[in-house]
Structure 1
Amino acid sequence: MKKLYLLAACLVAFATTQAQTVNFSDYAAEKYNWNGEEKPATTSYEMDVPYAQINGFRFYNNNEDVCSIAYNKKSVDGTKYFACFKTQGGSKWEDSETPASRVIEVNVAGPCTITGVMASSSKNDDRELYISTAKVDSDYDKEDEAYVGCIDIKAADGAKQYTFDYQGEETTLYLYSRTGGINIYTLSVTSK
């Protein structure tokens, strides 16, 4: 009987802890046959238009404000990466609820943890990764109900792991920079 309860508890824990993860080194190894040992002949590929769907994430792209997968070697906490998703600038929107480019969309079932290895694309300028349920235009819009939170990415820190805890209900979240480029090496969303 105890084994049955243990099995049931494990199944419940597994069912309630769902994760969506993308590691761009793994993605580039599979899609472009890249590896961390040698620099490839082509070091950057534009994302598909109007979006690329990867492991539960939707990466919006258009032909004017492109984002890409780029060869970019980094080591963070002993883990080596050789590819990243580059936003190559701030997000673009068709309207307040329709992303056009440089926006990541993910559906969440409720409270979750968003984790990513990220860096500012600039050596000098910090970035903010906005998390919202619709477009947030300015710091004043942080009072807007669409605003969920923000991850401050310091240029001086280089690539490092960042975490954000979302405490809301089931929804679609958008992750984006309003002003400048962010390099993302891994991204995951884990339900609580």
Structure 2
Amino acid sequence: MDIMLELMKHSVLEGERILLRPVGLADAADMFEYASDEETTRFVFERHLDLAMTEEAIANYFMAAPAGKYAIVVKDTKKMIGTIDIRPNPADRIAEIGYTLNKVYRGKGYMTEAGKLITALAFGVLGMEKVFAMHDILNPASGEVMKRLGMQQEGVLRKHKVLKGRNCDMVYYGILKEEHFHQASEA
């Protein structure tokens, strides 16, 4: 199976309330709204200082290699409220997910809905055996999203990343394909 081909065939995923689609330059204002907020970016990336920085990030990260990278868009309002991406490793049949959400939209289930669309893609289309995610130990709210996706905490990777000059312990969560399908059958 050609994973990149499958990701490109599934570049748009539709949920009940959200649409996952490729990120484009037209999303710059919506992305800057949360990318310029220190609270939102604290555990993820450097805060964007101006709209030009956001446009560069979109061009160089999202548009240069769009496979598996999605804007999270509220269907009713067409507002782009965050991003989610999947980074598959076909050799090991595992995939990592990562996400960022505008703080105004937290606690409304949007990230859980996006994560479920991505895990369904990973297991149902891409043939992955495991999906995992990590969060900075100082950001337990991200771990709550992982739990809602059915992931289990598997451990803490000590001083695993350097972010903004700080050595970060990363909490590692994962879900196996059989766990995903078992949970889906009970829903």
* TM-score normalised over the length of structure 1: 0.30
Higher-helix-fraction structure: 2
* TM-score normalised over the length of structure 2: 0.30
